[in-house]
Amino acid sequence: MSVNRSAATLVDVPRGLAGVVVTDTEVGDVRGLEGFYHYRQYSAVELARTRSFEDVWHLLVQGELPDAARAAAFTAETAALRRLPDAVRAALPGIAAAGRDSGPLAGMRTALSLLGAAKGFRPVYDIEADRRRADSVVAAAAVPTLLTALHRLGNGLDPVEPRGDLSYAANYLYMLTGKEPDQRQTRAIEQYLISTIDHGFNASTFTARVIASTGADIAACLVGAVGALSGPLHGGAPSRALDTLDAIGTPDRIDAWIRERVLAGDRIMGFGHAIYRTEDPRSRMLREIAQHFGGPRVDFAVEVERQVEAILAELKPGRELHTNVEFYAGVVMELCGLPREMFTPTFAAARVVGWSANILEQAEDRKIIRPVARYVGPGAPVAVPAVA
């Protein structure tokens, strides 16, 4: 059905815009029926298996995978941008203290705004493509520094200054823990980061593009994306998936615990996805990474996955419900020593690159994103009552 309102055509669309194509993109795609997703022309999982985070960052914002010389130059460029401006560093203790109960992701919204102001970011509408790209790299390089500093300050610890001789992933772990990172843990986190850089027009990416369509600066676009990511239906599930493992406790409790939740209509965190109708390829890769570490926790997670999928197939026949990226992401991050309150912030440390690529692409289109809503309230016009 369509209804004309002041020359505008209103068209019914699915709730949540599910399946609605809103623009064209060259950044990447998710093929939910195939269980496959890619960054530009390359398999995202294959990139995670074979390339560095910096290589994939270059691919997303520069449009191509770098050769060895360009990779070294880009790695050096981004490493040099990790240190924060003095004004931002001075403000972080206050931001951390004010948001002690909210966590580093909430604090980063404020810190990113301040970073944009301190760096003189201008509206993307007013600057050339090279300046937009430079601003995006400045912001993305600073995000791990902001997140780890806010986390440590919130826990009564001094921030750890970034190191230019470490990779993006290794430096992130170093700033988080203050210790030289373990090589195996670093590579596991790097593969997780690469696998979550971008994933279609998810809520935070779409938010970033809506803001970019207004011509706002890079920091404003990223702040909006972080706000969207902070919602538990988007980026907040890795720690909740681990909470499920803790609540179940032992293998003999899996069946009864899961059946009770499913029959009550509760959502099992870490299972099901809005796009995939087959196994989430990110979950498959992260399961393999977890199994390389091994141990009782991993064995228990694998058994929970097996039984939950069997119970869901029995109680919800015809629906393909498998583990999503959050389930094994939580297991891998726990194995690498990350505290649970840093799971979603770590997701943000990856996704900031995907957001940046989408912001840069959207900035090339000078058309603002301006949908409409169908009014369903009381009939209008009604006379405004006089004040009694």
Of 233, 241, 244, whose CA–CA distance to 326 is shortest?
241
| DSSP codes, 81-146 | T-SPPHHHHHHHHHHHHHTTTT-HHHHHHHHHHHHHHHTT---GGGS-HHHHHHHHHHHHHHHHHH
d(CA 351, CA 53) in angstroms, rounded, equals 12
Task: Give the pLDDT of residue 276.
Answer: 63
- Amino acid identity, residue 73? A
**Active-site residue, selected from the candidate residues 54, 326, 334, 361:** 326
Q: Are 230 and 112 in contact (CB under 8 A)?
A: no
Q: Lowest mean pLDDT of 221-230, 288-297, 372-381, name the range.
A: 372-381
Tokens standing for residue 81? 């941008």
Q: Count Cβ atoms below 10 Å from residue 348 Cβ, excluding itself.
A: 25
Class of domain 54-182+197-232+354-363: mainly alpha
Residue with tokens 């919602």: 231
Task: Give the pLDDT of residue 338.
Answer: 95
Helix (H) or strand (E) holding 18: none
Of the pLDDT bands very low, low, confident and very high (cuts 50, 70, 90), residue 11 is confident
Higher per-residue confidence, 65 vs 283:
65
pLDDT digit string (tens) for 66-113? 999 999 999 999 999 999 999 999 999 999 999 888 899 999 999 999
Whether 273 sits among the annotated catalytic residues: the reply is yes
pLDDT digit string (tens) for 126-171? 999 999 999 999 999 999 999 999 999 999 999 999 999 999 999 9
d(CA 377, CA 107) in angstroms, rounded, equals 37
Tokens standing for residue 15? 């709730």
Mean pLDDT of the chain: 91
Domain boundaries of the chain, sorted by first residue: 54-182+197-232+354-363
For 341, residues 6+ apart whose C-beta sits below 8 A from its C-beta are 103, 104, 151, 239
**Cβ-count burial of 49 within 10 angstroms (0-12 exposed, 13-18 middle, 19+ buried)?**
middle
| Average pLDDT score over residue span 281-305 | 93
Q: Is the per-residue pLDDT at 3 higher than 70?
A: no
Task: Give the pLDDT of residue 237.
Answer: 60
Q: Lowest mean pLDDT of 74-83, 111-120, 186-195, 298-307, name the range.
A: 298-307
Tokens standing for residue 240? 């909740």
Q: Is the per-residue pLDDT at 337 higher than 60?
A: yes
Tokens standing for residue 31? 């093929």
Higher per-residue confidence, 213 vs 14:
213
Q: Are 186 and 169 in contact (CB under 8 A)?
A: yes
Of 355, 339, 342, whose CA–CA distance to 112 is shortest?
355
**Cβ-count burial of 137 within 10 angstroms (0-12 exposed, 13-18 middle, 19+ buried)?**
buried
Q: Which pairs from 19-28 meet CB under 8 Å and 24+ separation?
A: 22/201, 22/206, 22/369, 23/209, 23/362, 23/365, 25/201, 25/358, 25/361, 26/63, 26/361, 27/60, 27/198, 27/354, 27/357, 27/358, 27/361, 28/198, 28/199, 28/200, 28/354
d(CA 281, CA 195) in angstroms, rounded, equals 9
Q: Are 360 and 206 in contact (CB under 8 A)?
A: no
Higher per-residue confidence, 1 vs 322:
322
Task: For residue 314, report the phi and psi dihedrals to the nearest 5 degrees.
Answer: -75, -45
Q: Are 143 and 169 in contact (CB under 8 A)?
A: no
pLDDT digit string (tens) for 224-283? 999 999 987 787 667 878 888 999 999 999 999 999 988 988 888 777 776 767 778 888
Helix (H) or strand (E) holding 277: none
* Percent above pLDDT 70 for the chain: 96
Q: What distance lies between CA 295 and its chain's CA centroid?
A: 28
**Active-site residue, selected from the candidate residues 273, 305, 334, 361:** 273
Of the pLDDT bands very low, low, confident and very high (cuts 50, 70, 90), residue 8 is low
Of the pLDDT bands very low, low, confident and very high (cuts 50, 70, 90), residue 327 is confident
N-terminal to C-terminal alpha carbon distance within the chain: 42
Task: Give the pLDDT of residue 19.
Answer: 79
Of 111, 106, 109, 119, whose CA–CA distance to 91 is shortest?
111
Whether 341 sits among the annotated catalytic residues: the reply is no
